[in-house]
Amino acid sequence: MAGGPPPWVPSLASLHLMKLRFEPAQWAALLGQAGLTRIELQMCGFDEPPRNISRLANLRSLHINSSCYFTHSPWRHLDGLSRLTELRLESCGVTNLPCGLSTLTALRRLHVSDEPISAGWERLGGLRQLTALVLNRIRCDELPRCIGQLTSLRMLGLFANWHVLDWGALLPLTCVEELDLGFCYSLTELPAALSRMPRLRFLELMYCTNLAGGWQHLAGCSQLTALSLTGCIRLAGLPAELATLPALQVLYLDSSSTYAGFRHLAHLACLTHIGMLYRSMDPASDRRLQGSAADLAQDAAAAQDLAARGVLRVRQRGRMLSPHAHQGQPADGIMQK
């Protein structure tokens, strides 16, 4: 495409460009495609976003990834994209949320990742129609309070927000069904907001390495079907509150977890899969185990029963193995995580 405008197709509806340096001629050709409904620009070079992007009135999805640094323009022209339903800004150096963001009344999914945003959060508050919001690695010390105004949210991604200490903004979000708090190192207790999320089905806590309490807040999550505790190294055993999750089907653990507390899973009738990194199948061999002899015996019996029923699978080197594989028996049921 070097040396002039790319060969645009008059009826073009979807466009994905990578590693292209945009000059005025390219922008003019792009903005002339009134039928475009989806644009993805990945690692494309330009100094500022197009000032007339609102001419693409049929645009439904806009994805800008590692393409520019918005130092010259705050995207004042987003307000013309009245049909936009999805906006993704990733690694673009955005320091302010776009001015026209709150006018996008059709927007349903907003994904902002790896951006040093320091201002403009109040513009989220007007997006009451949002059903999915992803704010991964946004480099802030507290969650924007206006998130609590987005009461239609069904999916909320807050992956790798390492420094957040106050999770109170989540309290009004009672309709959330999927919540990703993976790699939130500062999380020491489960947010109290979980107790007000009766529709929660998926909870990702992968590598919340300081998570050690707040398990009582799971009691309100009666519809939780999938839970990941992989890398939660503060766990000395499975929390007793897991027994209050009647709909739980999938549970991921790893070598940071022990067989202590497996008795709490014994009566979860819906549980069909437990993924766990390889370690000794004999819980008594784990020196970190604490509890009475009776409790440890129940844990051992529960773990053995889950393994015998094919529920407990042991993962080794990235694969899911039959719990009998390390005992010299056939590794039936091998699957990828």
Instruction: Evaluate whether 49 touches 73 at the Cβ level (below 8 Å).
Output: yes
Pick the more confident residue, 260 or 224: 224
Task: Look up residue 199 and give its two tokens.
Answer: 């529709």
User: Of 236, 163, 160, 227, whose CA–CA distance to 197 is shortest?
Assistant: 227
In this predicted structure, the answer to whether residue 90 has a pLDDT above a threshold of 60 is: yes
* 321: pLDDT strictly greater than 60: no
Mapped onto helix, strand or coil, the DSSP state of residue 134 is: strand
Exposed (0-12), middle (13-18) or buried (19+): which is 242, by Cβ within 10 Å? Answer: buried
Rounded Cα distance between 179 and 176, Å, is: 7
Per-residue model confidence (pLDDT) at position 283: 46
Share of the chain above pLDDT 90, in %: 46
Categorize the per-residue pLDDT at 47 as very low, low, confident or very high, splitting at 50, 70 and 90: low
Q: What is the pLDDT of residue 195?
A: 96
Question: What's the pLDDT band for 271 if we cut at 50, 70, 90?
Answer: very high
pLDDT tier for residue 265 given thresholds of 50, 70 and 90: very high
pTM higher than the cut 0.75: yes
Name which of 240, 216, 224 is nearest 298 in CA terms: 240
What b-and-e string marks burial along 261-288, b requiring 16 or more CB atoms within 10 Å of the CB?
Answer: bbbbbeebeebebbbbbbbebebeebee
Residue 317 reports pLDDT greater than 60: no
- Return d(Cα 190, Cα 303) in angstroms, integer: 25
